[in-house]
Amino acid sequence: MRRKAVSPVIATLLLIVIAVAAAVLTYIWVTGYMGSVAQQASTAQLQERIKIEGVKYNTTGVFVYVRNIGDAKVQISSFYLYDASGTVVATVTLTSPQELNPGDVKELPPADTPLSYELSPGATYIVKVVTVKGTETTYTFTYRT
């Protein structure tokens, strides 16, 4: 009795079915992975986000207008003033962090703990604001009298 192997047509169909099944499994795995990455990204958007909207300077010091642009309450803990070379020239670490609700803008630091430094006309400075959780933002400005 003579037996033949699987015909070439059936073998080709089996290979196509195996390739399609592998592609479907890969697609399911990739979309699941991308879904978890997108979920992590949306969770990150709910975390702290702050923005410096402006800087004011008067005889008592430098004051910063900070806005909470995130979806969570933030606690501002520190302020730094750098000169153009990146050297820290003044710093304030608040003993009790200042809270900002989402959407709020506040002049900080409080008047009792100003960011004290005498600015030079025409000089460029960088202000950095840091939250308790380590979120930070910077703002560059040139002091004009």
Pair 128, 69 in one domain: yes
Pair 40, 54 in one domain: no
Residue 45's pLDDT is what?
A: 47
Cα–Cα distance, 142 to 120 (Å, whole number): 9
DSSP 37-62: HHHHHHHHHTS--EEEEEEEEETTEE
Per-residue pLDDT of the chain (145 residues; tens, 9 = 90+): 566 666 888 889 999 999 999 999 998 888 887 776 666 655 544 588 999 999 999 888 899 999 999 888 999 999 999 999 999 999 999 989 999 999 999 999 888 888 888 899 999 999 999 999 888 999 999 988 7
Pair 88, 132 in one domain: yes
Pair 92, 54 in one domain: yes
Residue 2's pLDDT is what?
A: 66
Number of H helices, E strands in the chain: 1, 7
Q: Domain ends where: 45, 60, 76? A: 45
Pair 58, 129 in one domain: yes
Give the global pTM. 0.67
HSE value, Cβ hemisphere, 13 Å, CA-based, for 40: 6
Cα–Cα distance, 86 to 105 (Å, whole number): 26
Pair 93, 136 in one domain: yes
CATH (domain of 115): 2.60.40.10
The total number of structural domains in the chain stands at 2
Pair 54, 26 in one domain: no
Q: Which domain holds residue 1?
A: 1-45
Residue 1's pLDDT is what?
A: 58
